[in-house]
Amino acid sequence: MWRFQVTLSFFITFVFLHGSVAADSDKALNDLMTQLAQSQHGRTRFIEKQFIRILARPIESSGELVYDAPSHLEKHTLQPRPESIILERDTISITHGKFARSFSLVAYPQVGVLMMSIRQILSGDLIGLSRSFAHDFESGIHGWRLTLIPHDPKVLHIVSRIVLSGIGSEIRDMEFERDNGDYSVISLGVNKSN
């Protein structure tokens, strides 16, 4: 009988603590998204490293990201070659050298989900993000980590997981993993302005 009571007591304590940790994690994620939603403008430098299995070294590029709430996002690669990707509402425009093209994300829903996810994170739209991704959030004294797994199997072929990490309301790294083992990491600067 004593062993049963100890086991039952341990189980109840575990369930209580696990529920408490989950509730704390949900509150911390909601707090982070609220802080992100307050930023109306952001501009920061980035360094992107693409790790491709068949290459001995990662491909590195750098440039600037610009965000204007609620629906404008720009990625300007400056090195090694100039390239611009601009997302305005549901239209994406790509300029690479002499090549320039614009298209609607409605026509490419898998790409749309990825681009929209970045914008939803920057705008603090947890409800919109939850429609397309399962998420897991961890936070501690050294920062936080948000893992996103796409719901749509078609999107999983483009990206199997997105992992964002940061400190306070600053996003420091965004990692995009593919199902074949290739991945890219975008490290962001801390010179974000409001």
Q: Say what the pLDDT of residue 11 is.
A: 40
List, for residues 83-138, the tens digit of each pLDDT value: 999 988 888 899 988 899 998 888 877 777 777 788 888 888 888 888 889 999 99
**Nearest in space to 31 (alpha carbons), one of 179, 109, 139:** 139
Are residues 140 and 151 in contact, defined by beta-carbon separation less than 8 angstroms? no
Report the topology of domain 2-60+109-188: outer membrane lipoprotein receptor (LolB), chain A (2.50.20)
What percent of the chain is modeled with pLDDT above 70?
85
pTM reported for the whole predicted model = 0.78
Show the tokens assigned to 30. Answer: 């909601």
Show the tokens assigned to 86. Answer: 């601009």
The domain locations on the chain are 2-60+109-188
Give me the DSSP letters along 135-187: EEEEEETTEEEEEEEESSHHHHTT-SEEEEEEETTEEEEEEEE-TTS-EEEEE
